[in-house]
Chain A
Amino acid sequence: MAYAIRVRRSVRHSVLATSAVMMLSGAALAAQQAPMLDPLVEDGTLPPVDERLPDNPLVVEPVDSIGKYGGTWRSGLRGRGDNAWISRTLNYDGLVRYNREWDEIIPNLAESWEVSEDARQYTFHLREGLKWSDGTPFTSADIAFASELIQDPNYPVGGLFLTDPGNPVTIEVVDDTTFTYIFEEPNGLLLDELAGVNGISLVSLQKAYCGQFSPAVNENAEQLAKDEGYESWAFMMEDKCAWGQETQRWSNPDLPFMNAWVIEEPWTGNASRVVLERNPYYWKVDPDGNQLPYIDRLEMRVSESAEELTLMALNGEMDFTDRHITTVANRPLFYDGQKEGDYRLGANVPSQSSTLVLQLNLNHADPVKAELYNSKDFRIGLSEAINRQEIIDAVFTGQGEPYQVAPRPESQFYDEEMAKQYTDYDPESAIAHLESAGLTETNGQGIRLMRDGRPATINVDVISAFRPEWIDMLELMSLQLREVGIDLEINNIDRTLFYDKRPGGDFDAQVWQGDGGLDVIQEPRYYFPSSDESAWAFQWQAWFNGTDPEIASEPADWAKEQMALYDRLGASSDPEEQEDLMRQILAIAKENFPVIGVSLAPDGYYIAKNNLRNVYEPMKHAWLFPTPAPYDPQQWYFD
């Protein structure tokens, strides 16, 4: 199969965009470099730019214009959990990547690949002459080292796609630039995994550096770790080279990278800023042959204070950010401050479908409640009793529209009927549905009674710390449901408890955001019980994934049918067939209506300084598609 497989996951039918054409340059262009590197080359610290670039550097087509070198991109980080922002700004350089429209997988470190018909063998060809940021060659051996480390049971890192017990994989190194993954079973989603944010773990561990901590490479690794005061080699590896794509990676300036910028001032517990500088060995150029990136440095203020970051942005001290401070509530503030702060707001299309997903626990430990929640009539009754427009007006200043948990309008899986079913506010019909679900009697307070005479009270678990607007939405929903005789109690709890309750099945309902609105195939948690994020059918997903056999229970027939379809999807290497199977899964989800949505998540926004050029608009925003990195910040520049 050719190198550019059309996956058509989430086609945005947009005419706005200048299409990002990633060409493979034939003859090497006369390369130029950033002025800050000139003295280093002159005094011999660095080899000339032609020797630093691969034979066939990746040519990045700028969004608007060829840029100029220099400048510092300032942004902000919050507590330790914020490594995601660093990853999103620069750490999207895996073997393959998505294009800017997020509808095609295109070459990156690998310049081409072949997939066998049965989707069991993937052969990749790396660019010739790639170098790590320390100047040493990047080869198949590094990928093999990382892959084997990920599979080591003594070193639990990320990289789910290589550790699936149902589908073991071996890696075969052909030569320095060629290697093959051989799966026991078909794996139709490998390229998606590699193009998503999780694929980065494969290209982030240099064998020469990280290998010294691994017993597989260095037989004294265990002793080395003991000498350095670590309990075992795995702890030392974690400290120096990080679990998968996680935190520690930005604390160790010695760790070599393949990214455009590398750590200069590391992220330690007492750092008040993190500084990254250009990687002189970065392997991408613009069409004129200028080595990227254009921007010299990244400077990230480490601040616990969202208020401080907000003021910095208002004050024009943030060159680009879309994190923490770009909330619904802050939008008017930032809008008004544009002139003063010399910045602009751009649109971020979220990957979420619904602003709130009400997940009734279909696997409830209480048999009476389980029976009620499994009644589709009951769920329809709840849905029709919600006055969505009122919520949209009160909470989202009118932004958004009534919407179920369904693919977004920008997705090729968009289905208006699925998105709009049972969203009309209709208390009478709601009551009729509740009555056919068996809730005919009421008590003195007008609350309907369940089969065993207890009032139909739904305790909804919610983490308001994550989305403060959820409480406002639930307060309104509670009043609305009260009208039809349902008692909705809001149970605002901490995250750990929220997750701890899932396996026991002893909760009525949980609230989360509608992930999977654009990344429909990759994130189907609400369409069928696919992962442990499917709180609405936690025991069914355990059955499907084989993760917690002690709590797993056999799913309803319709869910089993979806699971069989998804298994077929994963075994297919044909994007058309995958899409077709996903449509069938969605049709079953539509028919069975397992979770209730409220409104379409409105566009988010980013803040960019007015002199920052080549910034794409609008950006799609998802974890798997780690915005803004897929929009190539390496080609951003200051005018």
Chain B
Amino acid sequence: MLGFIVRRLIAMVLTIWAVSFVSFAIIQLPPGDYLTSYMADLSAAGDRVDPATIEAMRKQYSLDDPFIIQYFKWIGGVLHGDFGNSFEWSAPVTDLIWGRLGNSVLVEGLAVLVMWLVALPIGIYAAVRKYSLGDYLATIGGFVGLAIPNFLFALVLMYLWYIYFGETLGGLYSPDLQGTPWDLERILDFLAHAWAPVLVLSTAGTAQLIRVMRANLLDELTKPYVTTARSKGLPEWRAILKYPVRVALNPLVSTIGWLLPTLVSSSVVVSVVMNLPTAGPLLLRSLTTQDMYLAGAIIMLLGVLTVIGTLISDLILAWIDPRIRYGGR
């Protein structure tokens, strides 16, 4: 087990390094750089910029260096915990992203939790009561959730809330409470805001989870060990939960690692629509303005999250499924 983890960790470091290189290269792919986009922004507003100013700024920001040199300057800083400066915000990238990544993990973590809490019981129920009315209802409900694009659901929710309650949904907390400690007032305020994005984000994944759970469980339910468990007189719910459900969870658990990046990327549009202070809008904006150190840092951290998520799912898998634990021997 220990060797397994060590091998994993070494691979992780190499993967993360490769991710950093690729993410930086991707940002450099489109023509132009931050200053061209900055200039375009000003022109759109009707402003004029002196090309000589831009040229001087380009020199000052070292944007005229070759890609490889820019990359090594950046990655050299990253090794010391310095992710460089965001051009647009003229602030260290690290100051900008931690709070937002925290919000991302919070909101999206809650969404995953809700998704699982809702989908797994429904999936189990749908498998056990195959082709019953409840199965059909759950399936239809899940598919409606899957079919409605997240951003549209968010828009409709905001609109309905405005029409019926006269309030504007948006953000994750009231501006007055920004930066205050997490006391009861702030937690309640957070929950009063966060339910909407959590609802929107969790509906989409629920259908998929229900179907995967239902299909896996259906495969297992007919297997002899279930019949054995039943015939030994175990109560029905125990016979199902203790053995086949555990096995059916296997494919779900092994994809936990993908959940984090999928959630972040799928939540970008929702976050923009609902004005959530998560990493998504920051990433989107930094990509459009070619704010390369900021975008590079976010993409790289997403890569790190994926790698960590994969490690976690491997460990959980090993824990719930003895076949994997002993398979290495």
Residues of A within 8 A of B (CB): 79-81, 84, 153, 156-158, 160, 163, 197-198, 232, 234-235, 238-239, 243, 247-248, 251, 268-273, 299, 301, 303-305, 307-308, 311-312, 314-315, 317, 351, 466, 494-500, 515, 523, 531-533, 547-548, 622-624
Contacts and interface: CB of A to CB of B under 8 A. Distances in A.
B274 A547 contact: no
A496 B274 contact: no
A304 B281 contact: yes
18 contacts: A84-B47, A156-B52, A268-B89, A269-B89, A270-B99, A303-B171, A308-B275, A312-B168, A315-B168, A317-B168, A351-B46, A466-B44, A496-B30, A496-B31, A496-B40, A498-B40, A499-B40, A500-B36
A84 B275 contact: no
Interface in B245-290: 271-275, 277, 281-282, 285, 288-290
Interface string B11-52: 000000000000000000011110011011101111111111
Nearest to A519: B46
Contacts of B43: 499, 533
B3 interface: no
Nearest to B155: A307
A153 B59 CA distance: 12
B175 interface: yes
B44 A495 contact: yes
Contact of A500 (B32, B86, B99): B32
Given A305-B272, A495-B36, 16 more contacts: A158-B49, A198-B47, A239-B90, A272-B173, A303-B171, A304-B281, A304-B285, A305-B273, A307-B158, A308-B158, A308-B275, A311-B168, A315-B167, A315-B168, A497-B31, A500-B31
B281 A234 contact: no
B90 A497 contact: no
B324 interface: no
Given A234-B60, A239-B90, A494-B30, A499 B36 contact: yes
A80 B89 contact: yes
Contact of A623 (B46, B158, B288): B46
A531 B272 CA distance: 35
B275 A273 contact: no
B162 A272 contact: no
B47 A623 contact: yes
B166 interface: yes
A567 to B, nearest CB: 18
B146 interface: no
Interface in B153-169: 155, 158-159, 162, 166-169
B222 interface: no
Contacts of B48: 160, 198, 531, 533
A496 B37 contact: yes
B60 A156 contact: yes
Contacts of A314: 162
Interface residues of B, number: 58
A303 B100 contact: no
Contact of A547 (B36, B52, B271): B52
Contacts, number: 146
Interface in B52-95: 52-54, 56-57, 60, 86, 88-91, 95
Contacts of A307: 155, 158, 273
Given A269-B89, A304-B272, A623 B285 contact: no
B105 interface: no
Nearest to A542: B51
Interface of B: 30-33, 36-37, 39-41, 43-54, 56-57, 60, 86, 88-91, 95-96, 99-100, 155, 158-159, 162, 166-171, 173, 175, 178, 271-275, 277, 281-282, 285, 288-290
B167 A81 contact: no
Contact of B178 (A271, A303, A304, A496): A271
Nearest to A238: B90
B50 A304 contact: no
Given A248-B90, A308-B274, A80 B99 contact: no
Contacts of A163: 50, 52-53
Contacts of B44: 466, 495
B91 to A, nearest CB: 6
B168 A270 contact: no
A315 B91 contact: no
Given A314-B162, A315-B167, A81 B46 contact: no
Shortest 4 CB-CB distances between A and B: which pairs? A623-B46, A496-B32, A156-B56, A495-B40
A411 B33 CA distance: 38
B171 A272 contact: yes
- Specify which of B41, B86, B96, B169 lies most central, judged by the most chain A CB atoms within 10 Å of its CB: B41
Nearest to A501: B31
Contacts of A270: 96, 99-100, 277
Contacts of A81: 41, 88, 289
Contacts of A235: 60
A308 B159 CA distance: 9
Contacts of A623: 45-47
B184 to A, nearest CB: 20
B243 to A, nearest CB: 47
A622 to B, nearest CB: 7
A495 B37 contact: yes
B45 A84 contact: yes
Given A163-B50, A301-B175, A251 B40 contact: no
A156 B53 contact: yes
B275 A304 contact: yes
Nearest to B280: A304
Nearest to B34: A496
Contacts of A495: 36-37, 40-41, 44
Contacts of A624: 46
A169 to B, nearest CB: 15
A496 B51 contact: no
A535 to B, nearest CB: 10
A322 to B, nearest CB: 13
A235 B57 CA distance: 10
A600 to B, nearest CB: 18
A405 B166 CA distance: 44
B54 to A, nearest CB: 8
A304 B282 CA distance: 9
A638 to B, nearest CB: 20
B168 A156 contact: no
A80 B46 contact: no
A531 B48 CA distance: 9
A303 B39 CA distance: 23
Given A270-B96, A494-B30, A496-B32, A247 B168 contact: no
Contacts of A247: 88, 90
B159 A548 contact: no
A615 B287 CA distance: 39
A307 B277 CA distance: 15
A157 B95 CA distance: 25
A271 B95 CA distance: 12
Contacts of B162: 311, 314-315
B222 to A, nearest CB: 49
Contacts of A498: 40
Given A248-B90, A496-B37, A496-B40, A304 B52 contact: no
A454 B51 CA distance: 36
- Specify which of B54, B89, B274 lies most central, judged by the most chain A CB atoms within 10 Å of its CB: B89
B296 to A, nearest CB: 16
Given A248-B90, A273-B175, A500-B36, A156 B57 contact: yes
Nearest to A522: B48
Given A273-B175, A623-B45, A496 B290 contact: yes
Nearest to A340: B166
A307 B60 CA distance: 38
B280 to A, nearest CB: 9
